[in-house]
Structure 1
Amino acid sequence: MTQIDCQLNPMAIYAEGVDSSDYIDSVAPLIIQTLVNIGDLLDVGAGGGQLGSSLQAQNNHWVAIEPDPYMCDRLHSYPNCTRVIPTGWKEVHNLSSQSFDTVLAANMIAPQADAINFLERCRSWTRNAIVWIVPSQRGPKGLCLSGCLPNEWVQEGNETGYERVMSQLSESDYPNHTLTVDWTFTYITRDIDIVATHMANQLGWDINDTRRLAMGEHLYSNSIQDGLDFYLKVPKQSTILIWENQ
């Protein structure tokens, strides 16, 4: 299959979209209100570090596990990030048992793909609490901008990330707290056409696929223009799952 070359980094789109969205302002206060003392924080799949940085309290450690090089570069830019471990969670074997007060895993695939084993690993690292954040909106969600596309283009199942997690857990493993919050992913670009090319490539469309032209037209019509900038806004819903040691 032949595709058009595109230089956009999907990780950069995700990180920049979180930067521009109300995600942190919507999610972080709920976690802080629920957990009186977050303490030393292990941030698994830390991404761009926005949430971990907002939760890290002064004089406490914030250690990030993140395999993507672009995200690691962003994490290294935070002066309050104690350490970045540039690998996936399954490859981490040098952290002491119960060496963190809180383990955070936000918007990563592990809770949905392997909830039982991942929960066990999180429990081995924490002294106090585990926080997972998973998508709970219906409709397309596999790509960060897929929610602004027609369902027939994305062709995803309707099961939410929250449902996928809970279906794997026994009742004894259910979280102590379940909180749901709505927010809006906002990506700002000055080149809708390159975003359209990127999205078409991500969906696996061939270079001659007639939907490529429709993709650009659809994104233009669904964007908000402010000067030279185009805002692509995607409604999101997240569920925060919190386990506390009793």
Structure 2
Amino acid sequence: MLSFESVGMRYANGTVALDSVSLALPRGQFCVVLGSSGAGKSTLLRMVNGLVRPTSGRVSVQGVPVSPASLARLRPRIGMVHQQFNLVTRASVAANVLSGALPVLPAWRALLMRYPRELRERACALLEEVGLQPEHLHRRVSELSGGQQQRVGLARAFMLNPPLLLADEPVASLDPRISAQVLALMRQQAGERGTTVLCSLHQVELARAYADRIVALRHGRVMFDGPPADFGPAAAAALYAAAPASPAGAPPAPAMPAHSLAPVEQG
């Protein structure tokens, strides 16, 4: 479904965001990417929808390499859930959900916001599925709580029933109880559709609770790749440990290889 083949990203100033990352996500997998700020999580996700182009390697969706030439064809297959919701707060809930169908609409319909009946019916059904009532349809998004807004974002992401969903820190601005509800809903909706999910998080316990697979990034390298049950306290401590200071002029310490994070023995 989704593959990263020796993907690297080096910026013009020499900063390495990703260093030879190779991953393959099968259909229907809920994969969580963990790591501290600057680890490369967002860069990895942004490569999938073409917002960042790798300086080495290749990203493919359903066997199609992500490139400027393929983006128009691939974007309807990729849903997106954002950290800050990325909604038009002055617009209605219905308008925000329907905007998820814009990639497949003719330009005139998009400009006039003239959505076909079947799309309007789908938007209503999706809102119900994510736990919002019909009376929410015509409310401004700005009137909703954070948790409700992310439910709107989730409904929008599923408007075209994409086989792949990207979620970039989708619960970072929510409290723990609402975060758990949103992730449970995301997992449920994706599971019912067979959707592959690539979700970046910083909360280890949420990753353990909802992921099928955890990929841990540190300084742009994969430190761990495996089931949540194997990502124990030692792995988490190693992932978020402060990097030791390097002598002046010395290169930064290399990231630990994935195999060095052995599972914690269960007592």
Pair in the same fold by TM > 0.5? no
TM-score by length of 1: 0.34
